[in-house]
Amino acid sequence: MSEKLPKLIESLAKRARTASLSLAKASTADKNDALQKIAEVLESNRKLLAEENQKDLDAALENGLSEAMIDRLRLTHKRIDGMAKGLRELIELPDPVGDILEQRNRPNGLRIKKVRTPIGVIGIIFESRPNVTVDCAGLCLKSGNASILRGGKEAFHSNQALAQIVQDALQISNLPEDAVQLVPTVDRQALNHLLTLDEYIHCIIPRGGEGLIRFVSQNSQIPVIKHYKGVCNLFVEEEADLANAVDIAVSSKCGRPGVCNAIENLIISSKIAGEFLPLCAKELIARGCELRVDKEAAAILGDFTTVPAKEEDYAEEFLDLKIAVKVVNSIDEAIAFVNRFGSGHSESILTQNKTKADQFLKEVDASSVYWNASTRYTDGFEFGLGAEIGISTDRLHARGPMGLEELCTYKYNIVGTGQWK
């Protein structure tokens, strides 16, 4: 690595830290005004964006990237509109900074308030979707955090153009320009260096595939909040409404198979597997879904085309029209299966039995545990929390949808009258 690179990265991180101290005290009006300006500058720079995006698209074609990858890269008018709309939605959301979370008056006269504050500097490491640049910058700004963005090499020119737009807008706002910065290189060693700067950067959020998330977790000295894979399970218990269960199973697998809150495993009570499985398999297969089944399910589904499930199938996030099927003899077995193979994202039980539902809700160890609903509702907007930076599959700090409040920490403010001990 050139000697200049670590210096450049360090200077960028230091400037972000300085900016974060101003941002932490910025008014809601100033933050909303900056978000509005970013939306406007974005909308008035479509031509520049199209040109820079075209460079990435040309390179992608040249390098033989898949059509799915190229689609993610593309900054269409609709996507630009979407980014601007997202920024304007953030303006409408309440400012989380300064909320009083708890208040205590102590016998010695100290008055203690727990106050919500920004985290400080947040590093976002992402892959090829350039819209992440603007979405994350907006979320960090509204929650009073400075952000350092490091995008993938495929979207390099698009990200540079988007970051420039954000900085142009910040320059005509009352917020510091350094509040949002893009790492101006996709050099891996620059990323490695960034991940050591825990003096200036307080939280790293990787957004992307398993490989990226693992790389970041293993190389970061800075706390990482992972938005990892979604291996979600649906358990159809023996007292489920079977017609509704077919609808939920089919929609939560086939509705959008590529999203993290889609189900990957279907668990069925042996008491109703004989009745339920053929009904459900018929609908899944009609939608092009492959079934990977255990022996019990295979015996029931003799007339259908299925594939034998291997154990590792149950831990896989297919992100595709594939589903692994498991027959169980008890709710305890179902819960143990979910806690073993699930990724701690979203899990659901379908049953009319409240006692069993309560057991599942209590004992399943995941961010979002459902009774009689599809796992597809795990989402900041669906939960009424507003825009989110991702769905945390970690347990510390944020679990599940990570929105503006979860992009904050807190501090204690203690007011006395001269107390000492």
Which positions lie near its own copies, rule CB under 8 A?
A: 21, 24-25, 104, 106, 110, 112, 117, 119-120, 198, 202-203, 217-218, 221, 223-225, 241, 244, 247-248, 251-252, 255, 339, 350, 357, 361-363, 365-374, 376-378, 382-384, 394-397, 399-400, 409-421
Shortest CB 29 distance to its own copies, Å: 16
**Nearest Cα to Cα of residue 290 among 312, 305, 277:** 305
Nearer to its own copies, 81 or 247 (CB): 247
Residue reference for tokens 């990570």: 402
Least distance (Å) between residue 155 CB and its own copies: 28
Residue 118 or 138 having the CB closest to its own copies: 118
What gap in Å lies between CA 250 and CA 284, rounded to an integer?
6
Cα–Cα dist 421/409, whole Å: 29
Closest CA to 332 of 355, 312, 316: 355
Spatial contact of 194 and 13, defined as CB atoms under 8 Å apart? yes
Closer to its own copies by Cβ: residue 156 or 235: 235
**Minimum distance from residue 106 beta carbon to its own copies (Å):** 6
Nearer to its own copies, 238 or 394 (CB): 394
Nearest to 366 by CA among 293, 270, 260, 269: 260
Q: Quote the CA–CA distance of 302 and 316 in Å, as a whole number.
A: 24
- State the nearest-atom distance from the C-beta of 397 to its own copies, in Å: 4
- State which amino acid sits at residue 105: N
Q: Which two tokens stand for residue 331?
A: 């709710």
- 122 and 98 Cβ atoms separated by less than 8 Å: no
Q: Which is nearer to its own copies, 6 or 184 (CB)?
A: 6
**To the nearest whole angstrom, how small is the minimum distance from the Cβ of residue 25 to its own copies?**
6
Supply the minimum distance, in Å, between the C-beta of residue 216 and its own copies.
11
The CA distance from 211 to 197, in Å, is: 22
- The residue among 61 and 414 lying less far from its own copies, judged by its C-beta, is 414
**Are the C-beta atoms of 257 and 318 separated by less than 8 Å?**
yes
* Nearer CB in complex with its own copies: 11/221: 221
Nearer to its own copies, 88 or 397 (CB): 397
Give every CB contact of residue 20 below 8 A, 6+ residues apart in sequence: 118, 120, 121, 144, 145, 146, 179
Distance between start and end Cα atoms, the chain = 53
Q: Give the shortest CB-392-to-its own copies separation in angstroms.
A: 10
CB atoms within 10 A of CB 245: 23
Q: How far is the CB of 419 from its own copies (least distance, A)?
A: 4
